[in-house]
Structure 1
Amino acid sequence: MRYHTHDGGTVEAERRGYLVDLHVRDAAGRTIATVEMGTEEASALLRDLDAMALEAHAREWQYDIGYRDGVRDTKEARRRGTA
């Protein structure tokens, strides 16, 4: 399982029996940290990462929609002569 960070890095989960190794790497692929966790703790952490990624995607989508609306509103205001 691999998660990509906003700055180009990755967090990769590798299962080893009852343990999970989490490898944190920067954008160049260099290892920043390797963390050994129990499967339950790692599962909870990965669920949180999924939730945060989904929230970030939703915020980006809302920003894009708002920006496009703003551009349309500004063009409309210029057309009307109110901008």
Structure 2
Amino acid sequence: MSTSDFDSLKDDEQEDFISACAKRDLKPTDFVIQVHEKFPEGPGVGPVDRQVLVTRTGTGAHRNYAAGNGTSWNYAFEQDLIAGLFG
């Protein structure tokens, strides 16, 4: 398993995250992003399990989102912002 941060996200993911924050008058720096990727074990090819953990600094509120092909974690994050999950 590997772990990385906001800078490792694709440009469009970063832009969507920044936009979602701006719509709610929040700064991206109000959050800590951790990207966890688990690669298939053994030889051969398989899907990578990719998760994005978003934590709001100050409140400690956090949520883990499935990320990668066929997912829209940024949309789910924005919906959680609208619902007040992160305070």
TM-score w.r.t. the length of structure 2 is 0.35
The structure, 1 or 2, with the larger RCO (C-alpha pairs under 8 Å, 6+ apart) is 2
TM-score w.r.t. the length of structure 1 is 0.37
Larger-gyration structure (1/2):
1
